[in-house]
Amino acid sequence: MRLELRGITKRFPGVVANDQVDLTVEPGEIHGLLGENGAGKSTLMNILYGLYRADEGEILVDGTPLEPDGPGDAIAAGIGMVHQHFMLVPVFTVAENVTLGVERTSRFGRLDRRAAADAVRELAESSGLPVDPDAVVEDLPVGLQQRVEILKALYRDARLLILDEPTAVLTPQEADDLFDAIRAFVSEGQRSVVFISHKLREHRVIADRISVLRRGRIVGSADPRETSEQELANLMVGRPVDLVVDKSPAAPADVALHVAGLTVRDPEGRTLVDDIDLDVHRGEIVAVAGVEGNGQTSFVRAITGLDHLFDGDIEIDGSSIRGRSRKEVLRSGVGHVPEDRGTEGLVGGFTVAENLVLDQWDAAPFARRGSRDFDAIAEHARREVEDFDVRTPSIDTPVANLSGGNQQKVVIAREFHRPLALLVAAQPTRGVDVGSIEHIHASIVAKRDEGSGVLIVSSELDEVLALADRVAVMFRGRLVGPFPAGTYSKEAIGLMMAGADPADVTAEGAR
């Protein structure tokens, strides 16, 4: 499929999201789309997929104008989109998810589940995305769930596939498998891919050509074979970017977090966190690597006071948190960057300024005699928005109106501005561009150097290896390590994230 976007412009109140964007994707091409948070990537793709209507410009598919009124029109034109957050029904099978809305029926109008499963199995094998069509989606690891999302688009005869942050929850090995499938998809020369990712290395590995968006405009294109990651980063941000985390050796002091025998179970009695022991000292960064869905969420919720039903001991600065409220835990000196900013980190209808004091609005300096000090809140918001480069029309803008990356910056700014005994950051740079990652990583190291203990939980191995003084791996609720940074290679840690025993891997990977 040949795609042309000509002069696409989209305005929202106070901001021009896309400004006269021209973009061409050729048949058989994997086209990388790179840009900062709020640069307009998602808006542009949502216009193409029919979720938004452009104010100006036109879309041509194989030379024919397309004006999609919704995703149905885009799908009918051969465009499929795989969103960063999976849109699957957990209790349905793979086949039921793939065929949802276009179900196969028998001559009597009944669902033909066997025919659907056979069709999905054949599609999966021919596409290089093998998965059991009869498996229930909630029982699948995230790498296979990603395949199901792609199969949904392929089942609807997509000839142009939009992949939005497709490796966000994958191990390095799973990402390599996905890249093989993407290459197979375009190999016959008739189908195309738009690949969106904040990971510069991935663009250089998979893309045939890269277009860079900055503040709503295309500012350049690049051949990944002739362009370094540093050059891509500079083009994307518009200034030199330091891609290496600059930090001195750790100076561990007293224990900030002590976890002993921590076990968490769900209401059905299934073990989510299995007998974990862990100490995090002031003045060090401990990073827990792992594919999402292996107990990290329950682990973080327990140590930050969100869940109280656990066995074992959790202490902050030597004091048990058992029986203490969430507010008491936070005000004891714990900062928490949650993995899901939408449900646990922000209130979408509140303004940027209000979200920046969400857990401190009733305490000095933001309140006096029980009443909020709006001037102090506004002054604080303006300072944090500038320091963390939050792209917002105003501090009074509802935070739901910001891009995902800028919402993440609001959470980070709120948690980092005060003295902390312990900083717990889950997926701290998810959906954040390379320029902001540079700032966030430097801020995390600064917190360590101020004397805070830092616990990072991340599925991004590059982030883990860049930040950690000690590394642990979480798999199926159990913790391996922590061990000093540099003990194992990136490949070896990736294998552990997939369940390999440390005894079976070396610093070079598998024996």
DSSP string, 259-272: EEEEEEE-TT--EE
The larger pLDDT score, comparing residue 122 to residue 143, is at 122
Classify burial at 209, counting beta carbons within 10 Å of its beta carbon; exposed 0-12, middle 13-18, buried 19 or more.
middle
Which tokens in the block code for residue 296?
């990290």
The confidence band for 509, taking pLDDT boundaries of 50, 70 and 90, is very low
Q: How many CB atoms lie within 10 A of CB 27?
A: 16
Average pLDDT over residues 146-168: 88
Cα–Cα dist 121/262, whole Å = 41
Within 188-227, strands assigned E span 192-196, 209-214, 217-222
Mean pLDDT for the chain overall: 88
pLDDT digits (tens, 9 = 90+) for 276-294: 999 999 999 999 998 877 8
**Contact call for residues 362 and 450 (beta carbons, < 8 A):** no
Under DSSP, the state recorded for 76 is: H
Cα–Cα dist 199/122, whole Å = 32
Under DSSP, the state recorded for 132 is: -
Instruction: Please state, in angstroms and as integers, the Cα–Cα distance from residue 286 to each residue in 256, 272, 453, 475, following that order.
Output: 11, 21, 8, 16
Cα–Cα dist 356/360, whole Å = 9
pLDDT digits (tens, 9 = 90+) for 302-358: 999 888 789 999 999 999 999 888 888 888 899 999 887 877 889 989 999 999 988
- The predicted pLDDT at position 318 comes to 92
- The predicted pLDDT at position 26 comes to 95
Buried b (16+ CB within 10 A) or exposed e, 393-423: eebebbbebbbbbbbbbbbbbbbbbeebbbb
Average pLDDT over residues 268-282: 92
- The predicted pLDDT at position 510 comes to 39
Instruction: Please state, in angstroms and as integers, the Cα–Cα distance from residue 193 to each residue in 3, 21, 82, 208, following that order.
Output: 10, 18, 11, 10
Which residues, 6+ apart, have CB-to-CB distance to 260 below 8 Å?
Answer: 277, 312, 313
DSSP run (H or E) holding 506: strand 505-506
Cα–Cα dist 347/411, whole Å = 11
Average pLDDT over residues 190-215: 90
Which tokens in the block code for residue 246?
């600059």
Within 14-68, strands assigned E span 15-25, 30-35, 56-61, 64-66
pLDDT digits (tens, 9 = 90+) for 224-236: 988 888 888 888 8
- Indicate the SS3 state at residue 109: coil
Average pLDDT over residues 473-496: 89
Cα–Cα dist 500/281, whole Å = 28
- The predicted pLDDT at position 454 comes to 96
Cα–Cα dist 79/162, whole Å = 8
Cα distance between the two ends of the chain: 44
This model's pTM is above 0.75? no
> Is the confidence at residue 403, as pLDDT, over 60?
yes
Cα–Cα dist 146/91, whole Å = 16
The confidence band for 264, taking pLDDT boundaries of 50, 70 and 90, is very high
Under DSSP, the state recorded for 22 is: E
Strand partners, 286: 455, 470
pLDDT digits (tens, 9 = 90+) for 420-463: 999 999 988 877 777 788 888 988 999 999 999 999 999 888 88
- The predicted pLDDT at position 506 comes to 63
> Is the confidence at residue 143, as pLDDT, over 50?
yes
Instruction: Please state, in angstroms and as integers, the Cα–Cα distance from residue 43 to each residue in 389, 404, 470, following that order.
Output: 20, 12, 39
Which residues, 6+ apart, have CB-to-CB distance to 462 below 8 Å?
Answer: 199, 201, 490
Which residues, 6+ apart, have CB-to-CB distance to 218 below 8 Å?
Answer: 21, 22, 23, 211, 212
- Indicate the SS3 state at residue 99: coil
Cα–Cα dist 402/348, whole Å = 9
Strand partners, 180: none
Within 447-491, strands assigned E span 453-458, 470-475, 478-484
